[in-house]
Amino acid sequence: MKSSGAQVLADMLAGYGVSHVFMVPAVLRRTFAEMERRTSIRRIHCHGEKAAAYMADGYARAAGRPGICMAQVVGALNLAAGLRDAYLAHSPVIAFTGGRDPKTKFRKVYQEVDDVPAFEPVTKWNATVDAVERFPDMVRQAFRVATSGAPGPVHLQFRGNEGQLDQEEAEMDAQVEPQFSRVPPFRAFPDPQALAQLIGFLQKAEKPVIVAGGGVRASGAGAELVQLAEALGIPVATSLNGKDCIPAAHALAVGVVGSYSRESANRVVAAADLVCFIGTSAGGMTTHVWTVPKIGVPALQIDIEPETLGRNYPLKAGVLGDAKVCLSYMLEAVDRATAQRRAAWLEQVRRTKDEWKQKYKSQLESDAAPIRPERICAELSRHVPEDAIVLSDTGHAGMWMGGLYDMRAGQSFMRSAGHLGWAFPAGLGAKCVAPDRPVVTFTGDAGLWYHLGELETAVRWNIAAVTVVNNNASGNQSKRGFDRAYGGEQTAKARELWTYRMVDFARVATDIGALGIRVERANDFSRALKEALQSKRPALIDVATDIEAIAPIAVSG
Ligand SMILES: Cc1ncc(C[n+]2csc(CCOP(=O)(O)OP(=O)(O)O)c2C)c(N)n1
């Protein structure tokens, strides 16, 4: 029995549990028709390929399952641009594009360039499907690569500018491997000797700290992390990607460390006599360009990727393995009595945290109008529901939310790994895969402008995510940099480089058919959030904030 590529692809995506795909038509048209006939997969068509990639990314990070995005040949580079954040954040996004036909290649055929090389720097695997018989093995490999090891994006280019290869038929078996429908597909066991050595160092340390990253999140190891920290009396800082691995209210949680960070976290990590990195590549963002901690501090590391171990900090001990397995094993093996050794250290940590609270209290409680972003973060900490998925854009949004938002147990946190404009569409993708969880996205107005058109997508599909806009009519994170560029205070003319017109996004949202609420007084925010969450509609809360509010720069010690 022969089947078409379209039938096989539709069946395989359904077999891997894909519920939504995000795209700009026209690509794999026959596959979409087969999806309608054979599956319940929703085909979310967006206003831009980059937004489609971000939606797939938000979907993937919220569910720990591959997110699928697609574009025809002329949109392929837009899609590639949207994979950058997924690549940086280790998110399993699978991108399908239409591609060159051997019959017309190199003849100036309409809209075509060679797109494949552009996917190279933003994918773990970048491949072409040239014969319909290859659909099954290539799709299986795409899911295998996207989810294995440190997850990441994959690109498959299907022959034909719209991937018309899907119309051809062959004898094929649409077999799937459910193991690779989610992260992690494997739980690699550590070398017991290496782990024992690492435990030895941890137990001896008087002032250790754990820095937990996205690998702990991907492994679903938050609970084990907290238990180990409690068992040994070790404070925990996280990367931005690992922010939801420990609730902020936990006595041992010191906050996000690095550049977009909480001062108490940087102080604790800088003061530690031993740093144990778990599931983090200890990259520039998490270490404030390798100043927190300083290179040379005694360091330990647990990671799923061998080449990550020791890349940025020389190690006393490095362990290759799945975070959850390693932490569970450690919980059995550690000597809890050694926790006493760290009583003075934990007292110092508590004082550092208290100092941070005192220092930021007035901004967090500020009633000022225009509103302080710190106050929005405090309101979100208090009122975002326990089971919510919280997203943050990059730049100032990442600084405010990374440093000031208090995670609660049960919440998930996802943030842009650097690409401005990611959060709003990513929040829509997250809501698609988790329709029963509240989704609250925090973005600046510059971040929102990128993909504002996707509000119409949200309304069309009733994707009831809530988006909170820190609207200061500018990208005011740039203010400090331009002050510097102008040798002190910038000219009024220089402000043209980073300011915009003040637009009431609530009105724009209302016009498009979403719920739009404008907030101009801090005390009105919680009511707006409640209304937005209860509306069960796409909602946008436009908060008029202070253009002079600049996030604190990270401290190095
Ligand atoms: C794709 C991309 N281009 C440019 C930047 C640089 N950038 C970082 S933050 C920022 C401005 C952010 O403005 P907004 O989202 O309004 O937040 P605000 O700084 O006003 O709080 C810019 C342009 C980036 N991070 N990503």
Task: Provide the pLDDT for residue 348.
Answer: 98
Between strands 169-171 and 2-4, the pairing is: antiparallel
- Ligand 1 centroid, distance to 189 Cα (angstroms): 41
Q: Which residue has a Cα nearest atom 5 of ligand 1? A: 420
Overall residue count recorded for the chain in this entry: 557
Task: Provide the pLDDT for residue 557.
Answer: 76
* Residue from 393, 396, 450 to probe ligand 1 pocket by mutation (most atoms less than 8 Å from CB): 396
Task: Provide the pLDDT for residue 533.
Answer: 98
Burial status of residue 489 (CB atoms within 10 A of its CB: 0-12, 13-18, 19 or more): exposed
39 with 10: CB under 8 angstroms?
A: yes
Q: Whole-angstrom Cα distance, residue 50 to residue 58? A: 12
Quick one: angle between helices 76-89 and 49-63, nearest 10? 30
- Ligand 1 centroid, distance to 420 Cα (angstroms): 5
- Ligand 1 centroid, distance to 284 Cα (angstroms): 18
Task: Provide the pLDDT for residue 104.
Answer: 93
Answer left, alpha or beta for residue 269, where phi above 0 means left and psi between -120 and 50 means alpha. Answer: alpha
* Residue from 84, 441, 470, 477 to probe ligand 1 pocket by mutation (most atoms less than 8 Å from CB): 477
**63 token code pair:** 């569910």
Measured in whole angstroms, how far is the alpha carbon of residue 485 from the centre of its chain? Answer: 31
- Ligand 1 centroid, distance to 448 Cα (angstroms): 10
Specify the ligand 1 atom closest to the Cα of 472.
20
Specify the ligand 1 atom closest to the Cα of 418.
25
Q: Which residue has a Cα nearest atom 20 of ligand 1? A: 475
Alpha helices of 64-115 — where are they, by DSSP H?
Answer: 76-89
463 with 538: CB under 8 angstroms?
A: yes
Specify the ligand 1 atom closest to the Cα of 475.
13
Q: Whole-angstrom Cα distance, residue 493 to residue 523? A: 35
387 with 413: CB under 8 angstroms?
A: no
| Beta-carbon-side half-sphere exposure of residue 550 (alpha carbons within 13 Å) | 11
- Ligand 1 centroid, distance to 234 Cα (angstroms): 35
Specify the ligand 1 atom closest to the Cα of 400.
21
Best CA proximity match to 437, nearest among 385, 390, 388, 392 = 388
Biggest alpha carbon–alpha carbon distance for the chain = 74
Q: Whole-angstrom Cα distance, residue 77 to residue 535? A: 37
DSSP states of 518-544: EE-SGGGHHHHHHHHHHHTS-EEEEEE
Task: Provide the pLDDT for residue 310.
Answer: 98
* Residue from 399, 415, 420 to probe ligand 1 pocket by mutation (most atoms less than 8 Å from CB): 420
Per-residue model confidence as pLDDT tens for the chain (557 residues): 999 999 999 999 999 999 999 999 999 999 999 999 999 999 999 999 999 999 999 999 999 999 999 999 999 999 999 999 999 999 999 999 999 999 999 999 999 999 999 999 999 999 999 999 999 999 999 999 999 999 999 999 999 999 999 999 999 999 999 999 999 999 999 999 999 999 999 999 999 999 999 999 999 999 999 999 999 999 999 999 999 999 999 999 999 999 999 999 999 999 999 999 999 999 999 999 999 999 999 999 999 999 999 999 999 999 999 999 999 999 999 999 999 999 999 999 999 999 999 999 999 999 999 999 999 999 999 999 999 999 999 999 999 999 999 999 999 999 999 999 999 999 999 999 999 999 999 999 999 999 999 999 999 999 999 999 999 999 999 999 999 999 988 888 999 999 999 999 999 999 999 999 999 999 999 999 999 999 999 999 999 999 999 999 999 97
**Rg of the chain taking only CA atoms, in angstroms:** 24
At 455, is the secondary structure helix, strand, or coil?
A: helix
- Ligand 1 centroid, distance to 473 Cα (angstroms): 12
Q: Which residue has a Cα nearest atom 8 of ligand 1? A: 395
Full-prediction pTM beyond 0.85?
Answer: yes
Ligand 1 pocket list (CB less than 6 A): 393-397, 418-420, 444-447, 470, 472, 474-478
CA of 443: how far to CAs of 42, 204, 410, 469, 522, in Å? 26, 43, 22, 5, 17
The backbone torsions φ and ψ at residue 55, rounded to the nearest 5 degrees and listed phi first, read: -65, -45
| DSSP bridge pairs for 471 | 544
H or E element, residue 426: helix 423-433
Q: Whole-angstrom Cα distance, residue 481 to residue 458? A: 35
Residues with Cβ within 8 Å of 336's Cβ and at least 6 positions away in sequence, in order, are 231, 232
